[in-house]
């Protein structure tokens, strides 16, 4: 994984990542995503039944985590 901060570094980074992928996995296919500097982890509570009825209760912000465990869940997410 690489973070490319400058547009003029993009092509070189892609070519380098493709070479690395080809040598490790035998294919040079890449997945390119936008890097989000301050992401949030938002969960939505939904209940459904066997008849296709569903209800959304609320969303909660679970961004504050430590060692992949939620420390605080705040609802509603703002």
pTM of the model: 0.56
Buried b (16+ CB within 10 A) or exposed e, 8-26: eeeeebeeebeeeeeeeee
Give residue 77's pLDDT: 82
pLDDT tens string 62-78: 888 888 888 888 888 87
**Domain ranges (residues) in the chain:** 1-35, 38-78
């Amino acid at each position: 994984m690489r973070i490319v901060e400058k547009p003029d570094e993009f092509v070189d980074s892609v070519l380098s990542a493709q070479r690395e992928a080809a040598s490790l996995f035998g294919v040079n296919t890449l997945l390119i995503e936008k890097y989000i500097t301050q992401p949030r982890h938002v969960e939505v509570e939904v209940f459904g039944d066997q008849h296709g009825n569903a209800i959304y209760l609320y969303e909660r912000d679970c961004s504050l985590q430590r060692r992949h465990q939620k420390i605080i869940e705040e609802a509603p997410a703002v």
